[in-house]
Amino acid sequence: MTTLTEYRSTSELLGNLTLRELRSKYKRSALGWAWSLLNPLATLLIFSLVFRFFMRVQLPPSETSGLQNYALFLSCGLLPWNYFTNSVSGSIGTLVGNANLIKKTYFPRELLVFSNVASWNVSLLIEMGILLLVFLAFGNMVLPWIPALLVLIVLLTLFVAGLSLIFSVLNVFFRDVQHLVGIVFQAWLYLTPVIYPITLIPESHVLFGVDLPLRRIWELNPMARFVGAFRDVLYDLRWPELNDIGYLALVSVATFFIGLTVFNRLSGRLAEEL
Amino acid sequence: MSTRPAVVVDDVSKRFRLYRERNQSLKAALMRGRRAVVEEFWALQDVSFEVPEGSTFGLVGENGSGKSTLMKCMARILQPDRGSVRVNGKVSALLELGAGFHPELSGRENVFLNGSILGLGQKELAAKFDEIVEFAGLGQFIDQPVKNYSNGMYVRLGFSVAINVDPDVLLVDEVLAVGDEAFQRKCNEKFADLKAAGKTIVLVSHNLSAVHNLCDRAAWLEHGVLKMIAPARQIVDEYMSTVQIDRVEDVETGGNRWGSGEGRIEKVELLGPSGEPASKVRTGDPVTIRIHYCMDEPIPRPVFGLAIHTLDGTHVTGPNTRDTESVPDKLEGEGHVDLRIDPIRLLPGTYDITASLYDYACLHPYDFRHHVLRFDVDPGEPHESYGVVSLGGSWRVPGVDPAA
C-alpha cells in the first residue's frame, strides 16, 4: 500500500517537475513555445544549406521508398540527435541548478534528471508529429510505422536517461564534466551519420598496413544505429535490421541501469557536496 | 497517545569532508592523485535517542553542535555514515520555507509543485488549495509570479504549503520566527493543533523559551555528541547555565550588543557609597547604577532597563523605567539616568549588569548591551551565608532579644 501511494506521488512529482521545466523554459520570451520549433527548424535550414548546396553531399534515392530529399533525410537524424544532446546537456546542469532544493528537501533525486529528459521528450514528440505530417505530404505513408517509431523513442529515452544520470551526478563532483561533454558532443555529431548517409563511410580502410573494417567500427556508436533506425522507419519505410534493434535494446537498457547504479551510489552525498 | 517511538535515532554518526584543496576539476584530481587533501570532521558521533510518538521534541545546542545535521539526517536529506534514522510515518521538514519555489512561476503553480515535492498528492492539494492560500493571506496575488512577492509573502506561502502536508512527523528548523505578529499567532495555533492531533514535532531552535514552552523533551548536542536528554525544562535550565558561563569572556570586550542605534548607552557605571565609580561594593552599601546615554535624535518615550545576573545565569532582578512609570515624553542629546539602590541587598559574589534602551512598547531595541559591566559584592551587613540576595528579614527567637 505504501509503495503504491509512494509510486503515485513519485509519478505526480515527476509530472510536476516536468511541467516546471516546460513552463520555465520559455517564460518571458515573446515567442514562447514557438522557440521549441523554431530552433530545430533553423538548424535544419542551415545544415541543409551548407551540406546540400555548398558541400553537395550526394544522396542516392531510397531503395524502398524512392524518396530523395536531403532536408527530410537530415530531419530523421537531427531530431533524435537534438533530443539526445539537449537532454544530456540539460541534465548535467540540473543538479547544480537545483542545489537549494536538494539541500532543503527530500525527494528521489533522479526525478530532477528524469523531468529534464521528459521535458525534451515532449519537444521531440511534437517535432516528430510535425515531421510525420511533412512525410505524409511528400507521399511517404509513415502511419503504419508509428508503433516502430515509438519503440525507437522508448529505447533512445532509456539511453539518454542513462547517460544523463551518469553525467549529471559526476558534474556535481567534477564541474568540468559540462565543458568536456560539450566538446565530445561536437565531435560525436560528425562521427554520427546525421548529416551524411552511412554509405559515405567505406566498408574498410587500410591504416598502417592494417585493414580496418571502418563501417563496422562506425556502427558501434549507438547513436549511429539510432539515427539509422529512425531513418529506416521514417525515410526508407522499412524495418531496421534485427541486429540493429537488438544492439540498441541491449545498449539502451544497459546504459540505463548503469546510470541508475552510478547515480544511486553517488546521490546520497549530493546534499553535502553541492 | 502510544509510546511507540516516532523517530529512532540509532547510533548515528555523520562525517563531513573539509576540502583544503578541493578537486572540483578533473585536472586537479588527476594531478594530485585520486584523493583530494581532505580533513575529516565528525559533525555527529554515536548519537542515539528516541522521540516518542505524539511528543514535541527539542534539539538544542550551540552553532556547529550538529543539531541541523541531525535534523537533515531525519529528513533523509543527508545520509548518516554510520547508524540509522528510522521514522515511522510521513515526514515533512520545514528547513527553509519556499525552498522549491521557482521565481518565474505563479504562486498557484508553485503551490502544486512545492506540495508535490513535499509529498502531497494532486487531489489532496486541490482540496486544500483554498485553505493554503487563505492561511498565507495572499488573496489575488496567488496568480502572480512569486518573484514579485515580498519576503513575507514568500515565506508565508512556503510555510502554508509545508504545514498543510499533514505529516505524522514534522521537523522544524528555526523557522518559527517568520511573518508578522498575526501570522506568528496563526503558526503557533497550527503547531498546537498538530500537537493536539497527536503528531510528533521535532524542533531545532536557539530560542530557548520556545523550546521551554513547546517541547516535552529535549536533547542537547555539544560538538556532535549527545550531552543530555531529559525533559525540556531541565535541558533549558542546564543549557542556560553553561552557556552563560562560557559567555563571561565576552564581558572584557563589553559583551554582546545589538540595537538600531539612534539612541545609545555609552557607558554604565556602578557608583559606591562615596559617589565614585567602583567595581566592588559591600552588601548593604547605598549604591547607584548610572546609565550614560547619547541620543542622535529625539527618542520619544524611551525605556531604560537593567538586569543583574549571577555568573551561573540566574536573573536576580530586572528593573526598568516603564514599570515605575518614569518615562519622559522624549529624550535627546547626552545625559544619564540613575537607579538608586539603598541598601543593595545582594549577597557576596560576582554579578553582571545588562543595560537596555527600548521604545515604549519594549519591542524595538535602540541599544541592548548584554553584560556590559561586572562587579563584585563583598560581605557586609546583613551577613547571610546562603543565596543570592538578602530579603532583609529579621528573626524572632524565644530567649533572644531582637533589639540586641
Tens of pLDDT along chain B (404 residues) come to: 456 788 999 999 998 887 665 556 666 666 665 555 667 888 899 999 999 988 889 998 887 888 889 999 998 889 999 999 998 888 888 887 777 788 888 889 889 888 888 888 888 889 989 988 888 888 888 888 888 888 888 888 888 888 888 888 888 886 555 666 677 777 778 888 888 888 899 988 776 767 777 788 999 998 889 988 988 878 877 876 676 444 433 334 445 777 788 888 988 999 999 888 888 888 999 999 999 999 988 999 999 999 999 887 788 999 999 999 899 999 999 999 999 999 999 988 889 899 999 988 888 888 888 888 889 888 888 888 788 899 988 889 998 887 65
Which CATH fold would you assign to the domain B5-246?
Rossmann fold (3.40.50)
* C-beta atoms of A103 and B93 within 8 A: no
Residue type, B311: L
Q: Say how many CA atoms lie within 13 Å of B23 toward its Cβ.
A: 16
Instruction: Check if A101 contacts B (Cβ < 8 Å).
Output: yes
Predicted pLDDT at B27: 66
The answer to whether residues B109 and A23 touch, using CB atoms and an 8 Å cutoff, is: yes
Predicted pLDDT at A238: 92
* C-beta atoms of A9 and B121 within 8 A: yes
B85 three-class SS: strand
Instruction: Check if B323 contacts A (Cβ < 8 Å).
Output: no
Q: Which chain A residue lies closest to B79 (C-alpha atoms)?
A: A268
* C-beta atoms of A27 and B93 within 8 A: no
pLDDT at residue A151 tops 80: yes
Predicted pLDDT at B243: 63
Q: Say how many CA atoms lie within 13 Å of A43 toward its Cβ.
A: 15
* C-beta atoms of A271 and B105 within 8 A: no
Predicted pLDDT at A148: 94
**Domain residue limits, chain B:** 5-246, 256-378
Q: Say how many CA atoms lie within 13 Å of B317 toward its Cβ.
A: 13
Predicted pLDDT at A248: 96
Predicted pLDDT at B20: 60
B346: which residues sit within 8 A by CB, 6+ positions away? B283, B308, B316, B377, B388, B389
Tell me the average pLDDT across A171-188: 91
Model pLDDT for residues A80-138, shown as the tens digit of each residue: 999 999 999 999 999 998 888 888 888 889 999 999 999 999 999 999 999 999 999 99
Average pLDDT, chain A: 90
Instruction: Check if B162 contacts A (Cβ < 8 Å).
Output: no
Determine phi and psi for B205, rounding to 5 degrees: -155, 150
How many other C-beta atoms can be found within 10 angstroms of the C-beta atom of residue B225?
Answer: 15
Measure the CA–CA gap between B375 and B31, rounded to whole angstroms: 60
Predicted pLDDT at B207: 66
B365: which residues sit within 8 A by CB, 6+ positions away? B258, B259, B260, B356, B357, B358
Which of B:184-243 have CB within 8 Å of A?
A: none
Q: What percentage of chain A has pLDDT greater than the value 70?
A: 97
**Best residue in A20, A116, A176, A177 to probe B by mutation, most B CBs within 10 Å?**
A20
Q: Which chain B residue lies closest to A26 (C-alpha atoms)?
A: B104
According to DSSP, the residues that pair with B331 across neighbouring strands are B299
In angstroms, the separation between the Cα of residue B331 and the nearest Cα of chain A is: 47
Instruction: Check if A198 contacts B (Cβ < 8 Å).
Output: no
How much is the CA Rg of chain A, to the nearest whole Å?
Answer: 20
- Residue A222: pLDDT band (50, 70, 90) is very high
According to DSSP, the residues that pair with B17 across neighbouring strands are B40
Instruction: Check if A27 contacts B (Cβ < 8 Å).
Output: yes
Predicted pLDDT at B355: 92
Predicted pLDDT at B24: 62
- Residue A157: pLDDT band (50, 70, 90) is very high
In angstroms, the separation between the Cα of residue B226 and the nearest Cα of chain A is: 22
In angstroms, the separation between the Cα of residue A110 and the nearest Cα of chain B is: 13
Predicted pLDDT at B247: 40
Measure the CA–CA gap between B275 and B265, rounded to whole angstroms: 20
The answer to whether residues B57 and B70 touch, using CB atoms and an 8 Å cutoff, is: no
Give the ipTM of the model, two decimals please. 0.78
pLDDT at residue A178 tops 70: yes
Under CATH, to which class is B256-378 assigned? mainly beta
A108 three-class SS: coil
* C-beta atoms of B93 and A106 within 8 A: yes
Which long-range CB contacts under 8 A does B358-362 form with residues at least 24 apart?
A: B358/B302, B358/B303, B358/B305, B359/B299, B359/B300, B359/B301, B359/B302, B359/B303, B360/B300, B360/B301, B360/B302, B360/B303, B360/B322, B360/B327, B362/B303, B362/B322
Residue type, A140: N
Predicted pLDDT at B250: 38
pLDDT at residue A262 tops 90: yes
The answer to whether residues B357 and B337 touch, using CB atoms and an 8 Å cutoff, is: no
How many other C-beta atoms can be found within 10 angstroms of the C-beta atom of residue B181?
Answer: 8
**Best residue in B22, B26, B71, B154 to probe A by mutation, most A CBs within 10 Å?**
B26
Residue B26, Cβ density class (10 Å: 0-12 exposed, 13-18 middle, ≥19 buried):
middle
Q: Which chain A residue lies closest to B100 (C-alpha atoms)?
A: A101
pLDDT at residue A256 tops 90: yes
How many other C-beta atoms can be found within 10 angstroms of the C-beta atom of residue A24?
Answer: 15
CB-nearest to A271 from B72, B102, B105 is B72
Which of B:43-72 have CB within 8 Å of A?
A: 72
* C-beta atoms of B95 and A105 within 8 A: yes
pLDDT at residue A170 tops 90: yes
**Best residue in A22, A106, A173, A264 to probe B by mutation, most B CBs within 10 Å?**
A106
Structural domain span for residue A265: 2-273
Q: Give B102's contacts in chain A (Cβ within 8 Å).
A: 20, 24
Strands B56-60 and B169-173: unpaired
The answer to whether residues A159 and A251 touch, using CB atoms and an 8 Å cutoff, is: yes
Number of structural domains found in chain A: 1
Peptide bond into B277 cis (omega under 30): no
Predicted pLDDT at B254: 47
Lookup: cell for A8: 503515485
